[in-house]
Structure 1
């Protein structure tokens, strides 16, 4: 992976993480760094799932892929927030 690919993965992961965090109601007790990490992981896994479903490469904006990624980020933020609360 080139440096431009790494930077774009971090930026897209940050956006996905923030959108996933906005979808979850209430307060989440995780920091910005964890939000970005969850977003990056959700973006990678979401892209793989979207490719498997055949909705990753469409003409125009890949709304299906984005929805999958945001849903995974919301699940990740919720799970990580609950683990942090229990500690």
Structure 2
């Protein structure tokens, strides 16, 4: 006859905590990987097959620098032409 007092013992509690941490770690890792893959899916690919975030953000940054006076008009148009020529 087995005597069991209903206690898991120390190793039972250690196993329970370890499985809890592993379970939630796997869930969080899966969510992070899903979010990264979704964000990577928003990249556009150019003719060379490399991913780029598009020129929209770069054009906005260039326009902001021009508005702040960091670039003059000739530099702004030259850089804008380079950005638009790449897509």
Instruction: Please tell me whether Structure 1 or Structure 2 has the larger radius of gyration of its CA atoms.
Output: 2
Q: Is TM-score (shorter-chain normalized) higher than 0.5? A: no
The structure showing larger relative contact order (alpha-carbon pairs under 8 Å, at least 6 residues apart) is 1
More helix by share: 1
TM-score, normalised on structure 2? 0.27
